[in-house]
Structure 1
Amino acid sequence: MTYLRKLLIIGLVSMLFACTSDFEDINTNPNRTNVGDIKASGLFEPLLYNGINAWQNYTWFWNNELIQFTAFTGGGTRQEHRYFIGDQNWQSVWNTYARYTNNALHMYDLSIEQNDQSLQAIALTLKVLYMSNLTDMFGDIPYSEAFQAREGGTTEPKFDSQKEVYEQMFADLETANNLYAENPVFIKPALDGMYNGNMEQWMKFNNALYLRLLCRVSGRSEMNTAAKMTAMLNNPSKYPLFESNDDNATVQFSGSDPYRSQFANTNENGFTSSGRKLTEQLIKMTVIADDFGNQTYEDPRLAIYGKKNPNYLVNGVNAWKGTIAGCTEAEQSVADAGASWLNAAVFCRAEMPASYMDYAEVQFILAEAALKGDIAGGEAVAKQYYENAVTASIEKWATLGQFSETPVEISEENIEAFLASDLASWDNAVNKTELIANQKFLSLFWIGMEAYHEYRRTGYPELTIGDGAVFNDYILPTRFAYPNTTMATNNANAQEALTRMGGENNMKTPVWWSKQAIESGN
């Protein structure tokens, strides 16, 4: 365990933009561990476990606040829901994704030297996983010349356009897929808390990630994503995809140190009740109420996502209440009173599993593609994919219902009732594109930054920007700005990227694949 802890610091510095004194020290100090002295398998566990914990932390700290799953209205110390976000935040996010990518590349290099093809393939999958989030948060980034400084290359890499970044990520996923196809053996299955060394499932994850990224840029006709999706579906032996929740890219924690989830030591007060509450937006999308305010029906996942505040009653009955994302400081105490909490009993467990991607997301992607005509089947097939997706999402969360203070059980009948309800009915939906997007949004609860990415891609769900969201001029951040360090050390390339993206280095310039950029002609 001590060895694993030490590995957490290996490769911490990523040379994405410029050389630093710390980087020089790591690479010249003889008393520091040299990443080349260890086995590729020694990097795998820190990448997997620490990576997914960073993933969980970002969904709690960033995604949920930006996308109105939660809002920190318990005081003025955290104002992300009002878009009070600055350079320190941008730097932290930038460094995190870059660091894990750099570590994946270390593992890739070592796996080639040590003839470990399984970890070579996995390293490419993880590289794309993290680089895709880096580009989706910031826009144009270095890719083709990134991380070369550790091998004596450039310290001022060029920024590739987001189109070029996506093309290179697709190429990396194709390379990984070909490596998986050679059926390499994962030498130490016990290290793999996600798939126990099952390379077929890693291959499915690689291609599910491929499908996610194809969907992300599907609004850009020049990417020809419909043809690629069709080719993948027509050749499942070459491009296997998730077939059920058993294939979910979910890391399992034993609960023993250091194999513990991100919030294992967090109590309910620090996790939710003193600050982060569920929002009106989430409650609106998951609860049906009558004209008198009586809550007559709710999404069966809601009682697993969250917990009612016992002090909030409607007509004498304990009910769900959401706080107001982006509310003013004057509104805050009223908005916060009685607001529902995140379900700490579910999330703050040492054994709480965490997902990079689910089968439900794959089915939502295919539902959207079929409805748009990008893949075969039309509306009838789109409906089947959609209902598969909703069912899979509910079934995934149903397994966690047992950990609620009041255990939550979800039956097949409950799922059927939900699919027939006004919240989720395919047949009753006037705008089926919106229906797919809204239910996909809800299914992405607690999966990294995915709901934030999807909102910028689709424009759904329809969010209300609060009167207190003054820090970005009432504009939900369209991207994170390049950190000041980057602007100082690689200014010419960063400025070229901003010119290409058509905006300033702020949180108002849309990323290339977003609905806003496409509709504005950028």
Structure 2
Amino acid sequence: MKLLYKKIVLGFAFAGIVATGCSDQDYVDANTNPDILTEVPPENQFLSAVNSLESQDFEAYYDLYRRIMPWMQYVTPVNGNGANFTKNIDNFSQRYGRLYTGIGDALVDMEKLVEKMPEADQAKYVYMLRIERILKAYYAFYVSDIYGSIPYTEAWQARYGGTMTPVYDDQQSLFAKLDGEIKEAITTLKTTQTTPQTGLGNFDPYYKGDVTSWIKAGNALRLRMAMRLLKRDQSKAQTIINEVLSNESDLMQSNDEGWVFKGASGFTGGGNWNPDGLYATKPLVDFMWNNGDPRLDAFFSPNGYSQTNINALIATGDLPGGTTAPARRYLGSFTSPDDSKAAANAKYYTARTAKVNGADIRVDTLSLIQRRLFQPAFDEGSGVGTGVSYLPVITYAEFCFMRAELAARGLTGDDAETFYNAGVTASIEWYNEVAVDSKLSDYTALTGSQISDYLSQTGIAYDPSIGLDQIASQSFLNFFKQPAEGWALWKRTGMPNTTTVLALTDMKSSGVSLAIPRRAPLPLPSETSANYVNQKAAYDAMAKDAGFGAGPSDAFGRVWWDEQ
């Protein structure tokens, strides 16, 4: 796949996208007047939607770096987690609004542009519209995944004669509808058309419009949705699983077929993408170090105690002469607030300052995350990075781990060990590719027998008696760049936890174990809202589920699929 360079696209009329700062009248006009939709090629709208989907820097800043990643013990802030950090849900979540302004509206406009064409021309866009529907279904699923009921069936229709007050689709109905749309799209993409098709080409940053790749991506998405259904409707999940796995030629077979966005370093170059100050965690670092995980230096940086920095500290009398760099320079932060504030652990959070080549260098005992893994343009002091930005949707490794889990649960005829090994291998190789292309510092590229050596380690080598545990633990590691999916995995399986192969910490504040949020807090319905009646009806229906929580704003409650 070629790289997509984020830029201001002059001449592309991204019609239907309501920009921040537009007046209320602009918004009303854009949603009621179909003539505002300029005559532009439909594929422009697809690129617009992808750009909107992948450029969510507020989601990175608020949802991932400061909420989900600390909750899931992927990272901590510089001084460890605060006493009530799991209750901090300000500005969470950012994904909801983007569905209606930026993604869904652009993709609906894309369909309407085709509908306005002569019938003979419409026949050229059969495949393109099915690819569009897979993308729209993905993002609607992504939003509902943590919100529950959302407007979908009646959404985006106001300027085409539809309602300005759409009803909410409940999650059970929505998941079924989305699965049906993806299934129909895949079936159509597999059906030869009598009219030559217009391809998306470079307007598709994921697959350049390759139909076979989109068939595989659609099936992977159906399987991910089926995994969510295992807790609530295993019969429906089993039907989807059987359909998806019925033809191996329609399934991902390698990392090259993963659903991944690649952009230039500048695509994630803004300040909200900046991951500085996020520290590795003790549970992950200890597990990866103790087992010789080849991904360790792709995830985390060595701490500040290089020999160069040590020599500088010796020169200023901060360290005794003869001090040498430690054999282990990967150390993680305590994730429990009580542990990080304990007097005995203060030494880990006390940094020194070394004077190196006339510059003050912060020397930390703890490891930072590999910042260029999340922002390749990050300036580490030697200049702005120039690597590739990788933003995965569904990787081949995830697909393998799903198949491994289903096999371990006895829901398929697959061999769990085969797909577990394939998943671990794919994950290590994928992170190696990302690390090299993102130009990470202090990274040693994968060589020789590292993967086979890792897979032979006790606790890593597949053991059917703890197979589900191992699969979940490795899947969790694979989601390091997709922490929202790591969060979903934890909610879905209860793993990893304090007793799994990858053991997380019982995070305590003043001796009390902290609960972890499970869904997005919902905004309270306002009677002045035009859609108040439908919103309240949706909330009332969700509240009938015992797991919904104390009210709409209760982030510790559950959505429909996340059954207790």
Contact kept? 1:98, 1:131, Cα under 8 Å: no
Residue equivalent to 1:354: 391
Show the counterpart of 1:317: 327
Correspondence for 2:380: none
**Offset at 1:408?**
1.5
Mark the CA change 1:224 to 1:318 in structure 2 (over 3 Å): closer, same or farther: same
What are structure 2's unaligned runs of at least 5 residues?
1-6, 311-323, 351-364, 377-385, 498-503
2:219 pairs with 1:175: no
Partners of 1:189 and 1:197 within 8 A in 2:
yes
2:382 aligned residue = none
Deviates more, 1:180-189 or 1:199-208: 180-189
Structure 2 counterpart of 1:480, one-letter code: A
Evaluate the alpha carbon distance shift between residue 361 and residue 111 of structure 1 in structure 2; reply closer, same or farther with a 3 A threshold: farther
Change (3 A) 1:330 1:144: same
Correspondence for 1:302 among 273, 296, 315: 296
Aligned to 1:291: none
When the two structures are aligned, how many residues end up with a matched partner? Answer: 484
Match of 2:71 in 1: 66
**Which protein, 1 or 2, shows the higher relative CO under an 8 Å CA cutoff with sep ≥ 6?**
1
Q: Which amino acid aligns with 2:127?
A: S
| Structure 2 CA distance for partners of 1:382 and 1:277, relative to 1, 3 Å | same
Contact 2:67 2:89 survives alignment (8 Å): no
- In 2 relative to 1, CA 190–80 (structure 1 residues): closer, same or farther, beyond 3 Å? farther
Q: How does 1:247-286 map to 2 (within 5 A)?
A: 247-255=257-265, 260-262=266-268, 264-265=269-270, 271-273=274-276, 275-286=277-288
Report percent identity of matched pairs: 22
Secondary structure at the residue paired with 1:96? helix
Deviations 1:97-140 (A, max 9, x none): 33322322222332444422233112111111111111111122
Q: C-alpha offsets along residues 327-380 of structure 1, whole Å, 9 cap, x if unaligned?
A: 269569666442211212443225222211111111111111111111114xxx
8 Å CA contact 2:78–2:279 kept in 1: the answer is: yes
Q: Which residue does 1:343 correspond to in 2?
A: 370
* CA–CA separation in structure 2 for the residues paired with 1:495 and 1:358: 34
- Mapped pair 1:512 → 2:546: no
Report the alpha carbon displacement of residue 452 of structure 1 after superposing the two structures with TM: 1.1
Match of 2:171 among 137, 162, 179: 162
Task: Structure 1: state its 5+ residue gaps.
Answer: 289-296
What amino acid sits opposite 2:515 in the alignment? I
Question: How far apart are residue 220 of structure 1 and its match?
Answer: 2.6
* SS state at 2:393 partner: strand
Does 1:475 pair with 2:515? yes
Q: Do 1:325 and 1:466's aligned partners in 2 also have CA atoms closer than 8 Å?
A: yes
CA-to-aligned-CA distance 1:283-330 (integer Å, 9 cap, x gap):
243221xxxxxxxx4311110111122149999334222223352695
Out of 58-67 and 329-338, give the one that drifted further.
Answer: 329-338
Taking structure 1 as reference, are residues 121 and 464 closer, same or farther at Cα in structure 2, changes over 3 Å only?
same
Question: What do you get for the CA RMSD once the two structures are aligned?
Answer: 3.5
For 2:510 and 2:32, the matched residues in 1 are separated by 47
1:398 and 1:409 in contact (8 A); partners too: yes
Residues 1:127 and 2:162 are matched in the alignment: no
Counterpart CA distance in 2 for 1:117 and 1:48 is: 19
Contact 1:68 1:81 in 2 (8 A): no
- TM-score with structure 1 length normalisation? 0.82
Measure how far apart 1:66 and its partner are. Answer: 2.9
CA contact (8 A) 1:11 1:35 kept: no
The one of 494, 498, 505 equivalent to 1:459 is 494
- Name the CA distance, whole Å, in 2 between partners of 1:445 and 1:404: 16
Q: Which amino acid aligns with 1:310?
A: G
What is the CA–CA distance in structure 2 between the aligned matches of 1:481 and 1:189, rounded to whole Å?
Answer: 39
Quote the offset at 1:28 in angstroms.
6.8
SS at match of 1:484: coil
Residue in 1 that maps onto 2:317: none
Counterpart secondary structure, 1:195: coil
Q: Are 1:368 and 2:395 counterparts? A: no
Is residue 507–residue 513 contact of structure 2 (8 Å, CA) maintained in 1?
no
Check the 8 A contact 1:501/1:512 in 2, yes or no: yes
Q: Aligned partners of 1:220, 1:438: CA distance in 2, in Å?
A: 22
Q: Is the 8 A contact 2:53 2:98 kept in 1?
A: no
Is contact 1:66–1:80 with CA below 8 Å preserved after alignment?
Answer: no
AA partner of residue 331 (structure 2): K
1:168 Cα deviation from its structure 2 partner: 0.7
Give the distance between the partners of 1:98 and 1:229, measured in 2 at CA.
Answer: 30
Report whether the alignment pairs 1:440 with 2:456: no
Q: SS at the partner of 1:252?
A: strand
Letter in 2 for 1:476: I
